[in-house]
């Protein structure tokens, strides 16, 4: 009974930590990517919307990503907006980004932690309980996210704004995230289509790795099954 509990715990730990690690690592590919931000904004015509040059927008994106990485203490930065040099973000935008930064502080903690837990639990399964459970862990990492995300993904394709609103209501305890596109440059730089394309790219990247893990798991299990047949 004790052995079963330990095995179950290790498989669960490997699965959860593996899923979290993949989600966070692929999130960082886009959340910290200045080139991604700038290319999306350029495509969406953010320069015309904000009255800033694409060069200034790129400079602001460097500031924003440095802030999310913990390399900058704030997002104070000036730029020419419709020809007038001014501070880019107002107090409400700065306050909202403080809340966003807290989430990314958590991301920076959970990313290495999830990787370590995945490696340790995978090693413990492989060494202590055989390769079958090890490969099952890979398989679960590959298929569980697809099973869990079917409804949210369909909902996002139908009503991204509604899903995005629910996300903010869950993770933020205030209404600072409700910005005015007429006056707030942050939302002018990052309108809904920006988040739609970023979420799609993130989902595709994470999905690729989930499929890769599933393939490794299935391949490993099939090899083990083939070896058993040969022994018989």
Tell me the C-alpha distance between 133 and 126, whole Å.
7
Q: What is the pLDDT of residues 7-50, one digit of tens each?
A: 999 999 999 999 999 999 999 999 999 999 999 999 999 999 99
Q: What is the pLDDT of residue 215?
A: 97
Query: Which token pair is 10?
Result: 């290790």
Tell me the C-alpha distance between 75 and 61, whole Å.
10
Residue 15: other Cβ atoms inside 10 A: 23
Count how many domains the chain has: 1
Q: What is the pLDDT of residue 224?
A: 86
Q: What is the pLDDT of residue 41?
A: 97
Tell me the C-alpha distance between 165 and 160, whole Å.
8
pTM score, whole prediction? 0.92
Residue 27 domain boundaries: 2-231
Q: What is the pLDDT of residue 198?
A: 96
Sign of CA dihedral 104, 109, 112, 116: negative
Q: What is the pLDDT of residue 150?
A: 87
Instruction: Reduce the DSSP state of residue 87 to 3 states and report it.
Output: strand
Q: What is the pLDDT of residue 31?
A: 96
Query: pLDDT under 70 in the chain at which residues?
Result: 227-232
Tell me the C-alpha distance between 164 and 158, whole Å.
12
CA neighbor of 177 nearest in space, from 64, 106, 99: 99
Residue 30: other Cβ atoms inside 10 A: 16
């Amino acid at each position: 009974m004790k052995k079963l509990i330990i095995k179950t715990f290790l498989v669960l730990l490997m699965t959860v930590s593996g899923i979290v690690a993949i989600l966070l690592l692929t999130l960082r590919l886009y959340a910290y990517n200045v080139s991604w931000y700038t290319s999306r904004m350029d495509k969406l015509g953010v320069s015309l919307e904000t009255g800033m040059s694409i060069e200034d927008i790129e400079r602001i994106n460097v500031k924003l990503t440095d802030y999310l990485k913990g390399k900058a203490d704030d997002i104070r930065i000036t730029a020419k907006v419709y020809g007038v040099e001014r501070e880019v973000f107002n107090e409400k935008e700065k306050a909202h980004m403080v809340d966003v930064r807290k989430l990314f502080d958590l991301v920076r903690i959970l990313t290495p932690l999830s990787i370590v837990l995945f490696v340790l639990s995978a090693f413990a399964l492989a060494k202590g309980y055989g390769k079958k459970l090890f490969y099952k862990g890979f398989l679960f990492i590959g298929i569980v996210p697809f099973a869990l995300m079917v409804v949210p993904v369909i909902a996002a394709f139908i009503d991204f704004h509604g899903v995005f609103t629910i996300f903010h209501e869950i993770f933020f305890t205030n209404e600072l995230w409700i910005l005015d596109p007429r006056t707030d440059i942050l939302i002018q730089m990052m309108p809904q289509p920006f988040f739609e394309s970023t979420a799609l790219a993130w989902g595709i990247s994470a999905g690729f790795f989930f499929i890769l893990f599933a393939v490794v798991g299935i391949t490993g299990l099939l090899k083990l099954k083939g070896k058993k047949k040969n022994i018989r």
